[in-house]
Structure 1
Amino acid sequence: MELIHSSGKTCLSVLQKEEKDELYKSSEILIFSAGELVVKSGTPVHNLYFIKSGIVELSLNRDSKKQALNLLFEGDFIGINCVYSTSSYRFSAKALTECEIEIINRDIFSDLLQRNKDFAMAFIQYISWVNEDFINWHMKLKEKNSAGALAFIICEFQKSLNQKTFEIPLTRQDIARIIGFSKESVLKNLASFRKEKIIESEGKSIRIIDSDRLNNIAKHG
């Protein structure tokens, strides 16, 4: 079965050892604290930003309001679909948790794309997946009621972290902003999920008890 390159990590795995050595020799690893900007809107596109660990929120300031664009996790590139389409990043990327970010030289990355056709094809597939995921993420949230949108976000964390017990590093107000509903609806639905024994939650900690029911709400809510 053909490998689906749905993350930057699997895309980079196509490189040969000597190619990886060449790429990483010129890279730099930086640590960002929770709440710190990793990429500021307007930053020139000179490098690629790869998330080695942590969670990042992409957002756009529109009409003096912060609009969430997506959440990115370990193994993702930040704004990869902008790297070859614009001269500067049109969004901001904020660390939601402590993040380890690898800064990769774009010129060397581009040279490897030209030299390694398998890597180039993997990159094309990854870019396509990123764009499709971005569209689906927003379409799904817009189609859902408040319970469905909240369940969808919880499921996204569960899928990306591959754990049933985890922390969502967002305030209830931030969750409400991301899913497009009120803080009161988030609190109400969390209480309902707890009452129905779908999840347990305390502060930012979530434990999924009934994955099937949660996924059903996320899909049909």
Structure 2
Amino acid sequence: MNFEYQTERYQSVQEPIRAIDCFKALTSDQKTRVENSTTILQFTKGETILKQGFVASHILYIEKGLAKLDVTNDSKISTVKLLGDGSFIGIVCSFACTNIDFSAVALEDTSIKMINMDVFVNLIKENGEFAFKLIRHMSSNTNSIVHRTSRLFNKNVGGSLSLILLELSEVYQSKEFTLPVTRIGLASLAGCSKESTINTLAKFHADEIIEVKDKHIKILKPESLKLIVKNG
């Protein structure tokens, strides 16, 4: 194996991989087994999808909707990731413990596919390509969570709020979106007070970085938000 080939292969491995790409590695028979072991559940906005401490009996996949992934430590709840369409819920924790070490809450009406854990584990053992893609996906998620947590740590209000707005824009794949939470909920996601969140949104609006109309957000200057995140 020459160096040029090694470099090319290394770069390709570093490309982010989506949850849906993992399923594409399954054979027709394996896809059928997944479908036969899947239950679809509907959750309304604000409803708890998973509660920390429950037995991990299924792998959860968001077919459509939005949820937040929370972890409780020392009686304090922290949001570690926002999850949109086509996302596994807590996949990086699902194989670590017998009991689920996180909770998930729907931020809007959400459709969830619950895949039997035993079937999922057997697919990992049977299909090397599926297992490899799943590892890549989980590694990417872990990297994202670590960097998100690190960036939010010790950020001022402007930096934290900018990060959340950019994250929502990425989840919705649009610079325009409707906030899925109240101002109090937004403050909780950013780890700030309600008053400072409202004041910062108003300042961003006045500075023409974003446009705010009730719950509707339009990001006018994404680069400005990124700069605030960097310096905040």
Give TM-score, length-normalised by structure 2. 0.88
- CA distance in 2: counterparts of 1:163 and 1:54, whole angstroms: 15
Larger radius of gyration: 2
Identity of aligned residues (%): 33
2:192 corresponds, among 181, 189, 193, to: 181
Q: Which residue of 2 aligns with 1:107?
A: 118
Partner deviation per Cα, 1:66-94 (whole Å, 9 max, x = no partner): 33232212111111122211011122211
| CA positional deviation for 1:5 | 4.3
- CA distance in 2: counterparts of 1:139 and 1:65, whole angstroms: 17
- Aligned partner letter, 1:14: A
1:131 corresponds, among 117, 142, 167, to: 142
* Contact 2:82 2:171 (C-alpha < 8 Å) held by counterparts: no
Are 2:69 and 1:58 aligned?
yes
Q: 1:111 to 1:63 in 2, by over 3 A?
A: closer
Are 2:203 and 1:192 aligned?
yes
| CA positional deviation for 1:201 | 1.2
SS of corresponding position for 2:97: coil
Are 2:100 and 1:89 aligned?
yes
CA RMSD of aligned residues (A): 1.7
* Contact 1:152 1:219 (C-alpha < 8 Å) held by counterparts: no
| CA positional deviation for 1:19 | 2.1
| CA positional deviation for 1:62 | 4.3
SS of corresponding position for 1:80: coil
- CA distance in 2: counterparts of 1:86 and 1:193, whole angstroms: 42
- Aligned partner letter, 1:2: S
* Contact 2:46 2:107 (C-alpha < 8 Å) held by counterparts: yes
| CA positional deviation for 1:206 | 0.7
Are 2:53 and 1:42 aligned?
yes
* Contact 1:41 1:92 (C-alpha < 8 Å) held by counterparts: yes
- CA distance in 1: counterparts of 2:45 and 2:32, whole angstroms: 30
Give TM-score, length-normalised by structure 1. 0.92
Q: Which residue of 2 aligns with 1:141?
A: 152
2:89 corresponds, among 75, 78, 89, to: 78
> Which residues of 2 match residues 181-220 of structure 1 at below 5 A?
181-220=192-231
Any stretches of 5+ residues in structure 1 without a counterpart? Answer: none
* Contact 1:5 1:122 (C-alpha < 8 Å) held by counterparts: no
Partner deviation per Cα, 1:32-68 (whole Å, 9 max, x = no partner): 0001111112211110000111111122344544332
Q: Which residue of 1 aligns with 2:133?
A: 122
- CA distance in 2: counterparts of 1:49 and 1:161, whole angstroms: 20
SS of corresponding position for 2:177: strand
Any stretches of 5+ residues in structure 2 without a counterpart? Answer: 1-10
SS of corresponding position for 2:153: helix
- CA distance in 1: counterparts of 2:222 and 2:48, whole angstroms: 33
- CA distance in 2: counterparts of 1:12 and 1:198, whole angstroms: 39
- CA distance in 1: counterparts of 2:185 and 2:18, whole angstroms: 25
- CA distance in 2: counterparts of 1:148 and 1:15, whole angstroms: 41
